[in-house]
């Protein structure tokens, strides 16, 4: 029974992570990977960008984006191994690796974004 109680939460994290990843990551990649380096858009100066990143709300949004994207990956990876590769017999190992990796990555993101001094 405990497996069924957590399943809706994992599906919620999966869908929220997909939405956030689809909306936030392409914009960040376009800005910082293409537009700013090619100077198609005037890049912000270092002081301004540092002030934005030091703001607590920005750090919280970046943390949420990282956490949700990691759980989206974990759920997708789990079902790729289950259904795509037919490895349903390794249920415990796959869950431990996928969701443990997402939790570990979330802890690293929390340390880097929330606990390190700005």
Structural domain contains residue 33? no
Q: What is the pLDDT of residue 112?
A: 93
Structural domain contains residue 26? no
Predicted TM-score of the model (pTM) = 0.82
List, for residues 45-80, the tens digit of each pLDDT value: 999 999 999 999 999 999 999 999 999 999 999 989
To the nearest 10 degrees (0 to 180), the angle between helices 91-110 and 56-79 is: 170
Structural domain contains residue 37? no
Q: What is the pLDDT of residue 30?
A: 96
- Nearest alpha carbon to residue 67 among 1, 112, 37: 112
Structural domain contains residue 28? no
Structural domain contains residue 60? yes
Structural domain contains residue 32? no
Structural domain contains residue 81? yes
List, for residues 93-106, the tens digit of each pLDDT value: 999 999 999 999 99
Q: Is the pLDDT of residue 39 over 50?
A: yes
What does pLDDT average to over the chain? 90
User: Residue 70 sits in which domain range?
Assistant: 2-17+45-115
Domain count, the chain: 1
In angstroms, the CA 35 to CA 55 distance is: 23
- Phi/psi at 117 (nearest 5 deg)? -65, 145
């Amino acid at each position: 029974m405990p497996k069924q109680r957590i399943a809706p939460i994992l599906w919620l994290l999966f869908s929220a992570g997909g939405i956030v990843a689809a909306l936030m990551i392409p914009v960040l990649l376009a800005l910082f990977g293409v537009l700013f380096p090619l100077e198609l858009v005037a890049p912000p100066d270092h002081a301004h960008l540092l002030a934005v990143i030091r703001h607590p709300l920005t750090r919280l949004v970046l943390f949420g984006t990282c956490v949700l994207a990691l759980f989206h990956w974990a759920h997708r990876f789990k079902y790729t191994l289950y259904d795509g590769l037919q490895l349903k017999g390794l249920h415990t190992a796959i869950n431990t690796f996928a969701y443990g990796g997402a939790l570990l990555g979330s802890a690293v993101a929390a340390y880097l974004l929330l606990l390190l001094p700005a």
